[in-house]
Structures are given as C-alpha cells and as structure tokens.
Amino acid sequence: MKVVLANPRGFCAGVDRAIEIVQRALARTDEPVYVRHEIVHNRRVVDDLHAKGAVFVEEPDQAPTGAQLIYSAHGVSPAVRRVTEKRGLRPIDATCPLVTKVHREVHRMRREGLDIVMIGHAGHVEVEGTMGQAPGAMYLVEKPGDVAGLEVRDASRLGCVTQTTLSVDDTREVMNALKARFPSIELPRRDDICYATQNRQNAVKELAAQAELVLIVGAPASSNSNRLVEVATKLGVPSYLITEAADIDAAWIEGLDCVGVSAGASTPEFLVAQVVEHLCALAGDDSTIESLPVIDEGMHFKLPPELRD
Ligand code: SF4
C-alpha cells in the first residue's frame, strides 16, 4: 500500500506563533501563566504546555488578580478584554494576525455605518470573538439555507466577513446566496478564509485525486481539520478525522492501494509521523511513503513586542 502525505499540512504561522508566545511567557517567569481557552485546538499541544506550567481557563475571571493571561489564537471580543483589565490581569495577545485583520474589517464597516453578516459556525470561539467586535450589529449565517430567513435592519447597508477556517467552496455558495438576496452587500474583497486553510484544502483535493481513503489528523474542535474531511468526502473519497494513530481501524485500509494523510493547522507533525508509521505497520512490508511536492508557504508572524528578543 502507498501512503501519500499532503503538502502543506499541519501547523500554520498563526499556530506556531501562539505556541511560541506561551513558551516564551513561561520561560520568563516562575509564576503560572494563564491561557484563555485552548491556545490552539489540539489536546497534545495543550497538555504539553500545561505540563510546562500553563494554566488553561475559559474566562478571565478564573485567573487570579495580577496574573498574566494569554488570549488564544482564535481571538477575543472587547468584552473579554474589558474583564481582563478590570481584574488587573496582564494580557498577552496570541490572536492570529489574520483573525485580527477580520476584526479590523468589522470595525471599518461599523465606522461606515454598515451592519455585518458573519459566515461562520455558531459557538466556535473565533466566531464569538469576531461577533463580539460589534454586538447588536452582526448577524451569523452558516449555510446558504440560512440566508432566506435572515431579518436585517437595513438591507442596503450590509457588509460581510467570514470565519478564517471555513470551506472555501461552501463559503462561496453562502456569499452567492447573500448577494442574490442583498445585492448591495459588501462582500470581502478576498474572502477572509486564511492562506493556511485554503492551501490545506487544495492539498487535500490533490490527495483525493489519487487516494482511496483520506485520513485527517486533527482535533474534533478544530474547524479547519473538520473542513478537510468534508473536502475529501465531497470529492467522493471516504475520509475520517483521527486524533492519533490509535484511532485507525485496520478494516478501513483492507484491500486499499493508496491512503492519503493530512493534518489540520493545529496538529503537531509528530502525530502525523505516528499515523504514517502505524499505517505502514498495518499494511505490511511492501508499503511505501510518498509526499506531494513541498510548498513553502512563506508566512511568519512577528511575536508581540513584549516577548521579542
Ligand atoms: S488557521 Fe489561519 S487564521 Fe487560524 S491561526 Fe492558522 S493562519 Fe491564523
């Protein structure tokens, strides 16, 4: 059996930066460092940082007065920042710059008098942070079918932003539905779906062209990992989300000649390596490993000033 690895896969620049922020903050103090929400959606990453002294909380009022509090890569609303300040916490912002860019778009549209439709998944922490940028002036839709029932204050004064980790193809359908119902809506110039999400989806499309099964290594809470499963499934290739090698059911690969493997943007590479090793062990001695051509995504985000060398 042949195992083909997608490229790019795994960590993106925003996840690299967020993890480095926590590591640097821990290295600079003997006190516990508090982190709001999972810094990135991966249990192994979170457990590793916890073992090094990070304390994960869901809200700022769970951290003691005066403590350092790191905001996760998914971003926070101004309401969370206000609670942090009120409690005398010392915030460090690990929000991915590409999420911050979407927040800035929301603020610009509000200054221009627009209400904003966000395309995203209800309950996702990034969506809560972005919707919280303009409470009372934003509407959330997830799929094209949500658009028909959307009640807005002024159909002629609308803008649109999206969650950064959506399916590119599905989002285009929702935007088309919005444009059909609200012709003057200002859609994102380039959609807000980030480079890492787009590149990983394109790579899974390439995998799906040759593999009979696509395995995505990622956490159930990871939006971009779930979208990768959907991309392969929509192309007619069975696909499963797995958190680690032990999740693989040997029956999935019985009789297959080619299995594709990719990973969401918050998945460490060692988990991918373990999955490949396990697949090869199950498939037997004649298994081979190939990789799609390596792509340099050329992205690197600066650390916050207080943590730079
Ligand atoms: S998936 Fe995209 S938006 Fe999210 S942290 Fe990575 S680069 Fe930033």
Task: State whether 199 and 232 are in the same domain.
Answer: yes
Task: State whether 188 and 200 are in the same domain.
Answer: no
Q: Report pLDDT digits (tens) over 128-137.
A: 999 999 999 9
Please indicate, yes or no, if residue 302 is contained in any of the structural domains: no
Please indicate, yes or no, if residue 168 is contained in any of the structural domains: yes
Question: HSE (CB half, 13 Å, CA atoms) of 147?
Answer: 20
Q: Report pLDDT digits (tens) over 16-36.
A: 999 999 999 999 999 999 999
- Determine the pLDDT at residue 93: 97
CA gap 122, 92 in Å, rounded:
26
Whole-number percent of the chain with pLDDT over 90:
97
- Determine the pLDDT at residue 223: 94
Task: State whether 253 and 270 are in the same domain.
Answer: yes
User: Is the model more confident about 73 or about 284?
Assistant: 73
Task: State whether 131 and 146 are in the same domain.
Answer: yes
How far lies 261's CA from each of 12, 40, 113, 214, 285, in Å?
17, 21, 46, 6, 19
β-partners of residue 215 are: 240, 261
Please indicate, yes or no, if residue 91 is contained in any of the structural domains: yes
Structure tokens at 301: 């985000």
Which one of 68, 96, 124 terminates a domain?
Answer: 96
Catalytic residue chosen out of the listed positions 59, 126, 128, 151: 126
Distance 268 CA to ligand 1 centre (A): 14
- Is the C-beta atom of 12 inside 6 A of ligand 1? yes
Which one of 77, 96, 115 terminates a domain?
Answer: 96
CA gap 34, 37 in Å, rounded:
9
Please indicate, yes or no, if residue 307 is contained in any of the structural domains: no
- Is the C-beta atom of 13 inside 6 A of ligand 1? yes
Q: Report pLDDT digits (tens) over 109-148.
A: 999 999 999 999 999 999 999 999 999 999 999 999 999 9
- Is the C-beta atom of 165 inside 6 A of ligand 1? yes
Distance 156 CA to ligand 1 centre (A): 31
The CATH number of the domain holding residue 60 is 3.40.50.11270
Task: State whether 30 and 55 are in the same domain.
Answer: yes
- Choose one of 9, 99, 191 to mutate for the ligand 1 pocket test, by most ligand atoms within 8 angstroms of C-beta: 99
Task: State whether 92 and 121 are in the same domain.
Answer: no
Residue nearest atom 2 of ligand 1, based on CA coordinates: 194
CA gap 85, 31 in Å, rounded:
19
Q: Report pLDDT digits (tens) over 160-174.
A: 999 999 999 999 999
Counted domains in the chain: 3
Which one of 65, 96, 127 terminates a domain?
Answer: 96
Average pLDDT, the chain: 96
- Is the C-beta atom of 224 inside 6 A of ligand 1? yes
- Determine the pLDDT at residue 41: 94
Task: State whether 91 and 143 are in the same domain.
Answer: no
Residue nearest atom 5 of ligand 1, based on CA coordinates: 14
- Determine the pLDDT at residue 309: 87
- Determine the pLDDT at residue 242: 98
Nearest to 260, CA basis, from 286, 233, 297, 281: 233
Alpha helix segments (H runs only) across 28-95: 43-51, 78-86
- Determine the pLDDT at residue 237: 98
CA gap 270, 140 in Å, rounded:
36
Task: State whether 157 and 228 are in the same domain.
Answer: no
Is residue 33 helix, strand or coil? Answer: strand
For residue 220, pLDDT over 80 is answered with: yes
For residue 295, pLDDT over 90 is answered with: no
Using CB atoms within 10 A of its CB, is residue 71 exposed (0-12), middle (13-18) or buried (19+)?
buried
Domain membership of residue 17 as a residue range: 13-96
Please indicate, yes or no, if residue 303 is contained in any of the structural domains: no
CA gap 75, 96 in Å, rounded:
7
The 10 Å Cβ neighbour count of residue 149 is 7
Distance 293 CA to ligand 1 centre (A): 22
Question: HSE (CB half, 13 Å, CA atoms) of 213?
Answer: 20
- Determine the pLDDT at residue 189: 79
For residue 191, pLDDT over 80 is answered with: no
Q: pTM for the full model?
A: 0.95
The CATH number of the domain holding residue 168 is 3.40.1010.20
**Cα–chain center distance at 71:** 15
Active site residue 297: no
Tokens 């696509």 label which residue?
A: 214
- Is the C-beta atom of 208 inside 6 A of ligand 1? no
Tokens 């999935």 label which residue?
A: 252
For residue 190, pLDDT over 80 is answered with: no
